[in-house]
Amino acid sequence: MVESIVIENTFIVTADENDTIIPKGYILIEGNRIAAIGAGEFHGEAEERIDARYKVVIPGLITAHTHLYGILLRGATLNIEPPTDFAQILQRVWWPVDEALTLDDAYASALSASADMLRNGSTFFADTYSGPNSIEGSLHGIAEATRSVGIRGLLAFEMTERNAPDEAERGLHENIKFIEESRQQDSLTTGMISVHASFTVEDAIVEKAVEASKKYDVPITVHTSEGLVDLYHNLERYGERTVERLDRVGLLGPRTVLAHCVHVNKDELALIAKTNTRVAHNPMSNALNAVGTSPVPDMLEMDITVGLGNDGWIFDPFENMRYALTVHRLARNDPRAMGPSEVFRMATLEGARCYGLEKQIGSLEQGKLADIVLLDATNIPTPVTERSVVGHLVNSFGGRDVITVFVNGRKVVDDRALTLISDKKVSEASQRSAASLWNRLD
């Protein structure tokens, strides 16, 4: 790896706390970190110089919630009765897929999905895997795949008791084993704790998950009121709304990321805000599954940290940003409900803050890890200026405009192609695995 690289003559959107924009400047990378960033000409020495005029440079985008294995279902035609609600989507689509997954599928899907995200400008993801018949060794295989692509990630196995209580225990053990394993090496891929959803687990296993999160000081994530099935389960069984139950068992707090939060009320939002719990918003997936629209504008008004995820469906973060911009305007019948700046923050610094990584990634600042994306601005139809650039990032740019990507100071995408592994090898592995999975599902 080249030890020092300067990206110069370029337009920089730092995404820092002050939303600093540098119309013409430079970024110096030394090792795996940003050594300097500034306006004007770079007058120092560097082993490699990248003339990035006509480019816009942004921090690597943050995918706050995903399921890498979801990519294997892309384009699949399943021989099922069409679901009528979210519970049936789980029962007829995702749970059968989960049960059919093998360790080879876990590896191939991680290879393909992480490559897709990287090519589209996402340099960090938080993933939960959910194969009950391929638990042991799954996180190791996923990590092997994502490291070969060169992306940064957090991995966990989704603990659930929907098939048997020991399934959750095995999932917890797999999470702990991977957390310990990843700490023994300087790895881009580390571990966290994941609970599937409160309607598939009893209180005791949630409490064990919380204990593990505290013991290892790692994030914990759970699907929260994505569909009404979650809310109704908790009301019927415990007399509590979903977030109220999670608060009672001690799950809420600054280590915790609640995925979705569609069917939550003001009292639940107050609990989330009070405990400094974070939220991963997945607007395109929520629309796909017809579960509703999360009240993200209310969350932002209450200073709740919100990141942007894809939930394993569309891996282009620019598409997810665009949808996040529009869906809340539609839901509120108010074009003021969401702006480009709020959306871009969700995809950068706020997404990093969800996992306690805001001092390391999510913005371009001296001393931070060098996760950097270069975008081709030559096809943008109107001027890119200090005032217009964030609007362009949400409205005009797309994954197709990603030219170069650095992760940890290493160039992992160059001229739109992966550098550490061939795009062909990724595609072949993914197609082979998907074909086998589709046959098993049929």
Q: Are residues 73 and 97 in contact, defined by beta-carbon separation less than 8 angstroms?
A: yes
What pLDDT digit, counting tens, does each position of 346-392 carry?
Answer: 999 999 999 999 999 999 999 999 999 999 999 999 999 999 999 99
- 55 CB-near residues (< 8 Å, 6+ apart): 10, 11, 374, 375, 376, 377, 403
Distance separating alpha carbons of residues 422 and 425, to the nearest angstrom: 5
Residue 26 lies in a domain: yes
Q: Where are the alpha helices (DSSP H) in 217-316?
A: 228-238, 242-248, 266-274, 283-288, 296-301
Looking at the fold, whether 54 and 148 belong to one and the same domain comes out as no
- Count of domains in the chain? 2
Residue 360 lies in a domain: no
Expressed as residue numbers, the domain containing 377 is 4-59+368-418
Residue 50 lies in a domain: yes
Looking at the fold, whether 275 and 155 belong to one and the same domain comes out as yes
Looking at the fold, whether 200 and 71 belong to one and the same domain comes out as yes
Residue 440 lies in a domain: no
Looking at the fold, whether 174 and 189 belong to one and the same domain comes out as yes
Task: Copy the structure tokens of residue 117.
Answer: 């995200």
Picking from 330, 354, 378, the residue at the C-terminal end of a domain is: 354
For the cut 80, the answer to whether the pLDDT of residue 186 exceeds it is no
Residue 241 lies in a domain: yes
Residue 117: pLDDT band with limits 50, 70, 90: very high
Looking at the fold, whether 276 and 383 belong to one and the same domain comes out as no
Looking at the fold, whether 135 and 99 belong to one and the same domain comes out as yes
Task: Copy the structure tokens of residue 421.
Answer: 């592994």
Residue 425 lies in a domain: no
Looking at the fold, whether 295 and 238 belong to one and the same domain comes out as yes
> What's the pLDDT score for residue 187?
81
Residue 442 lies in a domain: no
Here the CATH number for the domain that contains residue 127 is 3.20.20.140
Picking from 354, 381, 398, the residue at the C-terminal end of a domain is: 354
Radius of gyration of the chain (CA): 21
Comparing 71-75, 108-112, 176-180, 185-189, the range with the smallest average pLDDT is 185-189
Picking from 332, 354, 376, the residue at the C-terminal end of a domain is: 354
Looking at the fold, whether 272 and 295 belong to one and the same domain comes out as yes
For the cut 80, the answer to whether the pLDDT of residue 7 exceeds it is yes
Here the CATH number for the domain that contains residue 47 is 2.30.40.10
What pLDDT digit, counting tens, does each position of 203-244 carry?
Answer: 999 999 999 999 999 999 999 999 999 999 999 999 999 999
Looking at the fold, whether 132 and 10 belong to one and the same domain comes out as no
Looking at the fold, whether 66 and 51 belong to one and the same domain comes out as no
Query: What DSSP string describes 373-405?
Result: EEEE-TT-SS---TTTHHHHHHHT--GGGEEEE
Looking at the fold, whether 175 and 88 belong to one and the same domain comes out as yes
What pLDDT digit, counting tens, does each position of 332-350 carry?
Answer: 999 999 999 999 999 999 9
Residue 32 lies in a domain: yes
Name the 3-class secondary structure at 24.
strand
Looking at the fold, whether 67 and 28 belong to one and the same domain comes out as no
Instruction: Classify burial at 256, counting beta carbons within 10 Å of its beta carbon; exposed 0-12, middle 13-18, buried 19 or more.
Output: buried
Q: Cα dihedral sign for 61, 66, 72, 75? A: negative
> What's the pLDDT score for residue 2?
66
